Amino acid sequence: MQTPVTTYLDDIYECCLDNRSGERADYIRELAEADPEPFAIALCTPDGTQYSAGDALREFTIQSISKPFAYALALRDRGFEAVNAAVDVEPSGDAFNEISLDEHTGRPENPMINIGALTTHALIGGPDASAAQRSALIVEGLSQFAGRELTVDEGACASELEDAWRNLALAALMRAAGKIEDDPDDVVLGYTRQCAVRVTVHDLSVMGMTLARGGVNPLTQERVVSPEIAQQVMAVMTSCGMYDAAGDWLSHVGIPAKSGVSGGILGALPGQVGIGTFSPRLDAFGNSVRGVQAFEQMSKDMGMHMMAIPAPTINAIGQHCRTADGSKLVALQGVLDFPTAEMALRRFAQIPPGSDDVIIDLTLVPSIAQAGAKMLLTGMRSLTAEGHGIVIVDPHQRLTAGEDQVTGLRRLDSRPRGALTAAEAPTG
């Protein structure tokens, strides 16, 4: 059987295909002359499964969609403090090629507009990187996000450089303000090459999924950036990724995204899916018309809006009882995040001080979120402070860090013999 996801994507493709409104970008010769007809959609799931519809193997230049990834690489190479000192994270409310600077600090408003992207570009590779090294590092970094070796469309790069005066002026302004230290010519050349990297919608979906998985590529399993960087990049994409339509996009689509003038859109829904679309005709804001339509439809049909209310939390306490040897058993179930860990802590708080063991069974816990782990460890520490011994039953190794914070913690792969049936008396 063909999975219904393929049929669903085909339906979305068919429904958007007839929409021929919008215009190609006209300020870069190669883009003005590009075939306006191609259209493609691709999805990538957390385990690296890929789906597509349309012309999914066609390559196009990544353009502005490179910006969030260059920002990620700058954060990787220079750290949050240095990058934040150079570029702000505020939506500009201006066109992508405006001189949008914070009036107090003089920093570019964000890394998704050209003046901010030129500045982040110059930070990649550290202070000693030459322009050529930086350029190579960017192609390598983008390739790590895509999980395959990407190449530069030198023709597209040359065509944009014929008329890159505005970007040169922006880079020169940043050099004059001391925000970049390199020769503005080198920065514009490197940045334009960065924008001319060739990708397909498959690549975009994998790059999006790499961010959405917290920095780990779903195809190669390589960690490209830290979870903190991936989160920061998706946050800035959410507020600034869709040109001057970011607010509209957030309310109608609600998927962190970035679009580019060649007609691509990349989406990254945390933990769930990476999405790539390509169609060259753009709306008045510079976003691909069919791409926006496809994203709107998918978000609506699949409840992909990041603010969609998740399914109700299940009761985290599967079972609590006293075992044959007098220990207390608390069996947890479901994903352990803030609300479920709070339930567990409330249950722990009902256990009176004493020297008996408390057995915490994690067998039915599929994963533990950061908040859940912190709260669980705190709860276990409180129980030991009240005299209890702690035993965790953790056959799937869900609790991976912080055990050393709990004195005398013991681990078991299965419940101890005689520990329980649902009918046993509840603990006091």
User: Which one from 64, 205, 279, 299 is the annotated catalytic residue?
Assistant: 64
Whether the CB-CB separation of 144 and 222 falls below 8 Å is answered with yes
Q: Is 112 in the site for ligand GLU (CB under 6 A)?
A: no
Tell the smallest beta-carbon distance from residue 69 to ligand GLU (Å): 13
Three-class secondary structure of residue 240 per DSSP: helix
- 360/411 Cα distance (integer angstroms): 10
Q: Is 114 in the site for ligand GLU (CB under 6 A)?
A: yes
Strand partners, 108: 101
Indicate the DSSP class of residue 177: T
Cα-Cα-Cα-Cα dihedral sign, residues 283, 289, 292, 297:
positive
Tell the smallest beta-carbon distance from residue 28 to ligand GLU (Å): 7
Residue 402 CB contacts under 8 Å (≥ 6 apart), including other chains: 373, 374, 377
CA dist 281 → 32, 38, 92, 343 (Å):
10, 10, 24, 51
The residue number with the shortest CB distance to ligand GLU is: 64
Residue 194 CB contacts under 8 Å (≥ 6 apart), including other chains: 62, 66, 70, 121, 135, 138, 142
Residue type at 35 in one-letter notation: D
Q: Is 333 in the site for ligand GLU (CB under 6 A)?
A: no
Q: Is 263 in the site for ligand GLU (CB under 6 A)?
A: no
Q: State which of residues 218, 260, 276, 334 lies at the interface with ligand GLU (CB under 6 A).
A: 260
Q: Reply yes or no on whether 191 is catalytic.
A: yes
Instruction: Report residue 46 as tokens.
Output: 């957390």
Residue nearer to ligand GLU on the CB measure, 69 or 348: 69
Residue 419 CB contacts under 8 Å (≥ 6 apart), including other chains: 323, 324, 325, 327, 329, 359
Q: Reply yes or no on whether 51 is catalytic.
A: no
Q: Is 379 in the site for ligand GLU (CB under 6 A)?
A: no
The footprint of ligand GLU on residues 175-204 (CB under 6 A) is 195
Rg (CA), the chain: 26
Whether the CB-CB separation of 420 and 323 falls below 8 Å is answered with yes
Residue with token string 């999805």: 43
Q: Is 277 in the site for ligand GLU (CB under 6 A)?
A: no
Residue nearer to ligand GLU on the CB measure, 45 or 97: 97
Tell the smallest beta-carbon distance from residue 191 to ligand GLU (Å): 7
Indicate the DSSP class of residue 355: S
Q: Is 120 in the site for ligand GLU (CB under 6 A)?
A: no
Q: Reply yes or no on whether 64 is catalytic.
A: yes
Q: Is 167 in the site for ligand GLU (CB under 6 A)?
A: yes
User: Which one from 89, 224, 253, 261 is the annotated catalytic residue?
Assistant: 261
Report the 10 Å Cβ neighbour count for 343: 17
Q: What share of the chain is helix, strand, coil (3-state, %, to 5)?
A: 40, 15, 40
- CA-based nearest residue to 175, from 163, 187, 166: 187
Q: State which of residues 13, 56, 60, 63 lies at the interface with ligand GLU (CB under 6 A).
A: 63
Tell the smallest beta-carbon distance from residue 116 to ligand GLU (Å): 11
Residue type at 328 in one-letter notation: K
User: Which one from 13, 67, 87, 179 is the annotated catalytic residue?
Assistant: 67
Q: Is 64 in the site for ligand GLU (CB under 6 A)?
A: yes
Q: Reply yes or no on whether 243 is catalytic.
A: yes
User: Which one from 243, 289, 335, 365 is the annotated catalytic residue?
Assistant: 243
The HSE-up count of residue 294 (CA atoms within 13 Å, CB side) is 34
Sheet harboring 328-333: ordered strands across? 317-322, 328-333, 357-364, 389-393, 410-412
Residue nearer to ligand GLU on the CB measure, 195 or 304: 195
Q: Reply yes or no on whether 67 is catalytic.
A: yes
Q: Is 261 in the site for ligand GLU (CB under 6 A)?
A: yes
Q: Is 160 in the site for ligand GLU (CB under 6 A)?
A: yes
Q: State which of residues 39, 60, 96, 278 lies at the interface with ligand GLU (CB under 6 A).
A: 96
Q: List, by residue number, the catalytic residues.
A: 64, 67, 191, 243, 261
Residues of this chain that interact with ligand GLU (CB under 6 A) are 63-64, 96-97, 114, 160, 167, 195, 260-261
